[in-house]
Structure 1
Amino acid sequence: MTQVWTVVVPVKRLGGAKSRLRGALPGVPHEELALALAADTVGAVRACPVVAEVLVVTDDPRVAAEVAAAGARVVPDHPGAGLNAALRHGAAAVGGGWVAGLTADLPALRPAELAAALEAARTGPNPVRRYVPDTPGDGTVLLAAPPGVPLDPRFGVGSAAAHAASGALALPDAGPSLRRDVDTAEDLAAAARLGLGPRTAALCEAGASTAGRPV
């Protein structure tokens, strides 16, 4: 496998990120959980054998320090501009080549599953953007573009249909850890069944201990 991809990961300010997860882990500060999700996602992308660079778009200083220490490149976000603007900003900073946008809430992500999806995007029909829908099928977790083709992200409610309508093609057979984004406590439990990254797993153990549940 050749390291050709730059993966752009936008991360909101921790205080406003993943609002539907607030209170999901008793005794665990919400910002710590949001940071753990992002850190485990970035860690998995960094370990992916086809990824040459991870570019994180954020204006949160804790996130920036964390991911920079893990080897990611950080580009400042424009506060309040939104997810799609952050992805466009990150893609523009890449300056060309194979570029993918990935959500920052994939704590169970396996590097091999990400590699398989990116390799499928690179060997499929080109020049065409490709996307991976989330587990329910309505949202999008990954959007990939070949050199010379704008990323043109359409993330948000109904993004899978929006990406398809924009000419992007779905990537079949994407692995479950790539499709399992986390927005709710139920999503987090489902991700835990797949196997969480180390930061999120440690917080889940702490939350279970606080709640008096078996770990």
Structure 2
Amino acid sequence: MLKGMPPSESSGWSVVVPVKTLVAAKTRLAEAAGPHRAALAVAIACDTVEAALSCALVARVVVVTGDPVAAEALSGVGARLVADPEAGLNAALRHGAREAVRLAPGDPVGALQADLPALRHAELARVLTAAAEFDRSFLPDAAEVGTTFYGVRPGLEFAPGFGGESRERHLRRGAKELCPDGVDSVRRDVDTPDDLRAALVLGVGPRTLAVAELIGVAGGRAGEPPGRGAPPS
């Protein structure tokens, strides 16, 4: 049961994760990753999804992708897959949310960026616990410009506004900005080599770490091993 919601309404969160086709993924990491850019994108997405699934407050992860290579890898870590309608990021998220509501109409739905390789299940649980208190909410990224998480309570319109200066966009739309302490791993998305180094300092998942070592990006250490996390008290 989620805090703030009646037992009959929610068994856990449905989390929707959008994954680009690999030809378009992580282009700002192309110079650093070279021929391993696609492998790095898959590794980051798989570590993100595996960590999300290890959170006790997450009932399922729905991945929206049009890439067969990414789809196979993400299915292997336990994601439910839906085809990307190829109408943009937010359209993909809405499409995934409709599938999530079909699967579990009484559960809250959240969107999570696919590039959070340092994600910790306990930190995600803090974010989801905070989000359960509000109709619509979001978590800004580490730069406080973009967004890494957007969520709605059951039965409400799922209307994410990701892309560019999405923090300001979500605020204008009336979503509650979440400010829990100790959730750095949920805010650390990876778009550039500097972002990757910052994530490595936090400690990333094993797939990301392996590719980072392969391409010679320094500063890495392994994050916590996968495991079903207990909800925060």
- TM-score of the superposition, structure 1-length normalised? 0.92
SS of 2:15's equivalent in the other structure is: strand
Give the corresponding residue for 1:98: 108
* 1:193 is aligned to 2:197: no
The superposition leaves residues 129-152 of structure 1 with CA deviations (integer Å, 9 ceiling, x where unpaired) of 010000010100000100111120
Q: For residues 152 and 32 of structure 2, what CA distance do their matches in structure 1 show? A: 35
Task: Give unpaired runs (5+ residues) of structure 1.
Answer: none
- Cα distance in 2 for residues equivalent to 1:141 and 1:214: 23
Aligned match of 2:75 in 54, 60, 68? 68
- Structure 2: state its 5+ residue gaps: 3-10, 221-233
For 1:24 and 1:110, the matched residues in 2 are separated by 25
Aligned to 2:190: 182
| 2:180 equivalent among 163, 173, 184 | 173
Q: Distance in 2 between matches of 1:188 and 1:167?
A: 31
- Structure 1 residue runs of 4 or more that deviate by more than 2 Å after TM superposition: none
Measure how far apart 1:23 and its partner are.
2.2
The one-letter code matched in structure 1 to 2:36 is P
One-letter amino acid of the counterpart of residue 99, structure 1: V
Q: Which amino acid aligns with 1:206?
A: L
2:191 partner SS: coil
Q: Which position in structure 1 is the counterpart of 2:213?
A: 205
1:50 and 2:19 are equivalent in the alignment: no
Percent identity reads 47
For 1:162, the aligned partner's letter is: R
Q: Name the CA shift for 1:165/1:23 in 2 (closer, same or farther; >3 Å).
A: same
Structural mapping, 1:20-39, within 5 Å: 20-25=28-33, 28-39=35-46
CA-atom RMSD, angstroms?
1.7
What is the TM-score of this pair, normalised by structure 2? 0.85
Distance 1:18 1:85 in 2: 20
How far the C-alpha of 1:214 sits from its partner, in A, is 9.1
CA shift for structure 1 position 78: 1.4
